[in-house]
Amino acid sequence: MSSSQQLVSFEQQGAIGHIVLDNPPENRINREFYAQLGRSARQALRAGCRAVLIRSAGPDFSLGGDFTEWPSFGTHAAKKERFSFSNGILQMIESLPMPTISAVNGRAFGGGFELALHTDIIVAGAAASFRFPEVTLGVSPLAGGAQRVAERAGRAVATRMVMLSELMTAEEAYRTGIVARVVPDAELQAKAEAMAEQLSKGPTRAHEATKLVISTWSTSGVRAADEVMIGAVVDLLDTRDCRAGVDAAIEAHAAGRPRPDTAFTGE
């Protein structure tokens, strides 16, 4: 494959960054795919996007890693470097300071599933499905999928999905907390874009704080998240968005009017 082949594209539409996966026929993920994914995420950051939407150009979100490249990793060091590289990009996406959404259509297997799990919100089409097929290759998930399913849905769900390689429907993924919303397949893109639009008009700095608090809870527990929360809220009180929202609320309260919607700037 030529490194110039476009596998992942980025387009800014208003305040939303669209990252489109386009490696037909299965959106298999290899090193170049990850490199372009990372570049797209950095473009969204540099452009000041206030929400990011990741979606597929094909019938499936992604069937996972391109295992045909694995035999070329000749040494232990080469294997470690390759997976450190790809996981670093996924962790960078997970740490973006704006809300991120995955719009999952069709199959999200292996690394494709794991990519979606690194975003804040997964919106799935009704016919979407999720699976970890790694056990059929003699390995375990390579990009943080097991622990992120455990975080969202619990240890038992993660264990059976990984060890038994069970296929999970969109509806079950919703019931277990892996997926935030299930919508008709024909409405997936429109619904995901509407959610991204809503998030992009919100208080972006507050959304960043929410991500930080939840991330801290995930790694260090409730008490640590409480401490981070206090610092984050104190900082938020000085933002332009918070001052505008509070001033409007005080004015409306004094006048006996309903609180108006605030036009947040993300600052």
Both structure tokens of 208: 């960043």
Whole-Å CA distances, 212 to 29, 94, 149, 220, 233: 28, 11, 19, 12, 11
Query: Which one from 11, 32, 134, 251 is the annotated catalytic residue?
Result: 134
Angle, vertex CA 120, rays to CA 224 and CA 142, nearest 5: 90
Q: Tell how far CA 143 is from the center of its chain.
A: 13
Query: Which one from 32, 114, 193, 208 is the annotated catalytic residue?
Result: 114
Residue 11 bears catalytic tag:
no
Dist CA 4 CA 258 (whole Å): 55
Q: Nearest Cα to 52, choosing from 266, 197, 218?
A: 197
Both structure tokens of 71: 């035999």
Q: Nearest Cα to 114, choosing from 131, 138, 126?
A: 131
Any idea of the CA torsion for 170, 174, 179, 185, to the nearest 10 degrees? 40
Surface-to-core class of residue 107, CB atoms within 10 Å of its CB (0-12 exposed, 13-18 middle, 19+ buried):
buried
Residue 114 bears catalytic tag:
yes
DSSP conformational letter for 107: E
CB 134 within 8 A of CB 67: no
Helix/strand/coil percent split, the chain, to 5: 55, 15, 30
Residues that are catalytic: 114, 134
